[in-house]
Amino acid sequence: MTKFDTIYKNLVEDIMTNGVEELSERTGHKTRTVLGAHFSIDLEKDGFPLLTLRKIPIKMFVSEQIWFISGSRKVDDFLSDYTKIWDDFTNPNGVITVAYGYRWRKHFGRDQLALLINLLKNEPSTRQGVIVTWDPTSDGLTLEKKKNVPCPFAFTVNIVGGRLHLHNIVRSNDIMLGMPADVPGFALLQCILAQKLGVRPGIYSHSISNAHIYDTHYAGAQEIMKRTNDHKKIELVLPENSFDRAEQKDKALVEEIFNNLVTQHTPMEPITGMKVVV
């Protein structure tokens, strides 16, 4: 198996074996949960973290990250051509009020991504490359049920040893449906930022405060625990000027990244019947 397959399978097994089962008042579903899960993967040494133990919709996370980089918050603005996964989280105007890219680029009155790139260009050794998605004026700390609050709520970027490293910090991760898209999505962002800054991609780190599997996904988790393969590592080769093209919502960029990954990706059978718990 690839390095990421092994990490993923071990986490699923840990949750199903050692996780604490409790009822979520918000969703009405039981979950098995472990706290403080963490892993790191070297994108040069270990390859791109795209799960092969089951089929993953590649265009979903590729288009999602391009949409994030563009700073949009309307699903009809590019994203809906590739995935409907965000449709349940829109308001009547088709807006996702907590859209990650909008928060990175516009919500707080500053373009965090542009400032990050400028900072790292001029001071590569900085330890202040922090991007925040969570808005403490409105997110969390309330009994009011909201459709969505950010799960990956912050990430840090460091250039060390001529490589760009990204640490993704996640308050809550649905391990069966969320994590397999979050990890390659943010690793793609890491590679795009590295290319923009003229450095190599380095270590992707993923820290989860609450890693859980929903009761409706237990059967799928048991199936993952049985699976193994000998899939070779996947190497992402980015098209030139990916960051600038993403800002322009270039649909050809989705196809080019997809074609690079799909030709290397031979996943095992999909696991059907799993739905996002809202």
Mean pLDDT of 234-243: 98
Q: Is residue 212 part of a domain?
A: yes
Domain carrying residue 145: 3-55+97-231
Q: Is residue 35 part of a domain?
A: yes
In the predicted structure, residue 278 carries a pLDDT above the cut 80: no
pLDDT digits (tens, 9 = 90+) for 72-87: 999 999 999 999 888 8
Catalytic residue among 151, 187, 236, 261: 151
- Check residue 144 and give its pLDDT: 85
Three-state DSSP state, 20: strand
Q: How many structural domains are present in the chain?
A: 1
- Measured CA to CA, the distance from residue 241 to residue 187 in angstroms comes to 17
pLDDT digits (tens, 9 = 90+) for 159-204: 999 999 999 999 999 999 999 999 999 999 999 999 999 999 999 9
- Check residue 85 and give its pLDDT: 87
Tokens of 22: 């409790």
Q: Is residue 175 part of a domain?
A: yes
Percentage of the chain modeled with pLDDT above 70: 100
In the predicted structure, residue 276 carries a pLDDT above the cut 90: no
Tokens of 205: 């780190």
Q: Is residue 72 part of a domain?
A: no
Given a contact cutoff of 8 angstroms between Cβ atoms, the answer to whether 56 and 8 are in contact is no
Catalytic-residue membership of 191: no
Q: Is residue 22 part of a domain?
A: yes
Quote the pTM value: 0.97
Q: Is residue 186 part of a domain?
A: yes
- Check residue 100 and give its pLDDT: 97
Residue 21 sits in a domain whose CATH number is 3.30.572.10
Q: Is residue 218 part of a domain?
A: yes
Q: Is residue 206 part of a domain?
A: yes
Given a contact cutoff of 8 angstroms between Cβ atoms, the answer to whether 17 and 45 are in contact is no
